[in-house]
Structure 1
Amino acid sequence: MATKTSQQKTGNSTQKHPDMRVTRTREAIRSAFTDMICEMDYEQITIKELTDRAGINRKTFYLHYDSLDDLLGEMQNEMSQRFMERIKNLKPPYDMDKITRAFYLSMEESGKFGERLACSGNYHYINRRMVNAIMRDTWKEENAKAKDPYLQNIIMAFVSQSTLSIYRQWVADQKRIPLEDIIQITITLVCNGLDAWLRSSDQTHHPRYSR
């Protein structure tokens, strides 16, 4: 269900922008929710604890959102839109190197909240939904080499899941490889394959990545 607008909340059809109280309340809700996502499984999050942390009551929460799913959906959409904005002039699959870079930069902007959605098994269904939405919106058939829709699905599954798997492992390893290096490694592996990486000079062990 869509997030409630300021007009719906106030009943004033002429009001186009929320006032500062509305803005502060929504920021408090979102900040508390972000902290809880980073700390616990989604199923453990309750509106009671969320409102306690945000310093509001349940009635106030429902003036802004219909449910926790509504709130999560809003924040997911914002993450997706930031990524979409970065790649709006790119053409998959031909610009996969630039799209891969945009993915990493977008995830870094999202901080721990983005890491949690992308990496935690408890949020697998959520990040899967996000990936599907992004792939649906970015993959334009006129730009695709594979006109067969089933082959197209396989290509995009490979690209998206390979990139996401590398990102997850990078996070699991506490990001010991510098951001620019992991971007280049991902581009090489996803766009050119393991054979290309094995032929490159980047395959050698880097002491700076060690504990």
Structure 2
Amino acid sequence: MRERSKDLRVRRTLTSIRKSFYELVLEKNYNEISITELTDRAGINRKTFYLHYSSLDDLVKEIEEEIVSDILESIGSYAEAFDLPGCIKNFYIYLESCNEVQKKLLCDDHYSFFYESVTDSVLRSEPFAKFFERTDYPSIVRSYTISITFIYRDWLKGGRKIDFDTLTTQASNIVENGYAGVLKK
């Protein structure tokens, strides 16, 4: 996150902008949110918003950076150790700990641009470098890692019909061993 003023008024304004944005995320798709609506809800004028952000995308980028940092804190050491099951389990634990807004940003189809940007940043990070160094096909590895989130998203959409431990175990099995890893024995 950028370095911000310690001034109480500035902190209150930024908090109000963020709170209002989160409320709008829960109510609307991103392309339906306007700066005018955001500033009205935050109780500030547009000029005040533009003192802090150049656009709504700038605010979103700041939120993305915070989430990327949180994800890397949760799973970075597992990635460095090339512990794929540890990455998956702790990523799912991270997703489970997310608030309603974060889950919508990361799991809702209307916010796929947000998820894609977060994913790209995570996968470009140092802890994930070795995942790509071990292959001549980094785009396939990227697609494979993206499937981890889609498994979680599908689990959410399906009403969480299997327990969390089974989800993490089976997601690890299928990602590590392909379809052969989840065949009935």
SS in structure 1 at match of 2:77: coil
Q: CA RMSD of the aligned region, Å?
A: 2.4
Unaligned runs of 5+ in 2: none
Equivalent in the alignment of 2:11: 23
Hey, what's the Cα distance between the residues in 1 that align with 2:20 and 2:95? 20
Hey, what's the Cα distance between the residues in 1 that align with 2:76 and 2:66? 15
Structure possessing the higher radius of gyration over alpha carbons: 1
The answer (yes or no) to whether the contact 1:32–1:54 under 8 Å persists in 2 is: yes
Counting helix residues as a fraction of each chain, which structure ranks higher?
A: 2
Hey, what's the Cα distance between the residues in 1 that align with 2:118 and 2:25? 16
**Cα offsets for 1:66-94 (capped at 9, x unmatched):** 21001000001101110011223233683
Hey, what's the Cα distance between the residues in 2 that align with 1:84 and 1:72? 18
Q: Cα 1:48–1:88, aligned 2, differ >3 Å: closer, same or farther?
A: same
Q: TM-score, normalised by structure 2?
A: 0.85
The answer (yes or no) to whether the contact 2:25–2:101 under 8 Å persists in 1 is: yes
| Number of residue pairs the alignment of both structures matches | 184
Matching residue's letter, 1:136: R
Q: Cα 1:143–1:52, aligned 2, differ >3 Å: closer, same or farther?
A: closer
Between 1:135-144 and 1:119-128, the stretch displaced more is 135-144
Matching residue's letter, 2:152: Y
Hey, what's the Cα distance between the residues in 1 that align with 2:22 and 2:97? 14
Equivalent in the alignment of 2:138: 152
Decide which of 32, 35, 44 is 1:47's aligned counterpart: 35
| Fraction of identical pairs, as percent | 32
Matching residue's letter, 2:142: M
Equivalent in the alignment of 2:20: 32
What pairs with 1:1-211 in structure 2 (closer than 5 Å)?
5-6=3-4, 17-91=5-79, 94-137=82-125, 138-141=127-130, 144-146=133-135, 148=136, 151-158=137-144, 160-199=145-184
SS in structure 1 at match of 2:159: coil
Unaligned runs of 5+ in 1: 7-16, 201-211
Q: CA deviation at 1:199?
A: 4.1
Equivalent in the alignment of 1:205: none
Hey, what's the Cα distance between the residues in 2 that align with 1:108 and 1:145? 30
Q: Cα 1:171–1:64, aligned 2, differ >3 Å: closer, same or farther?
A: same
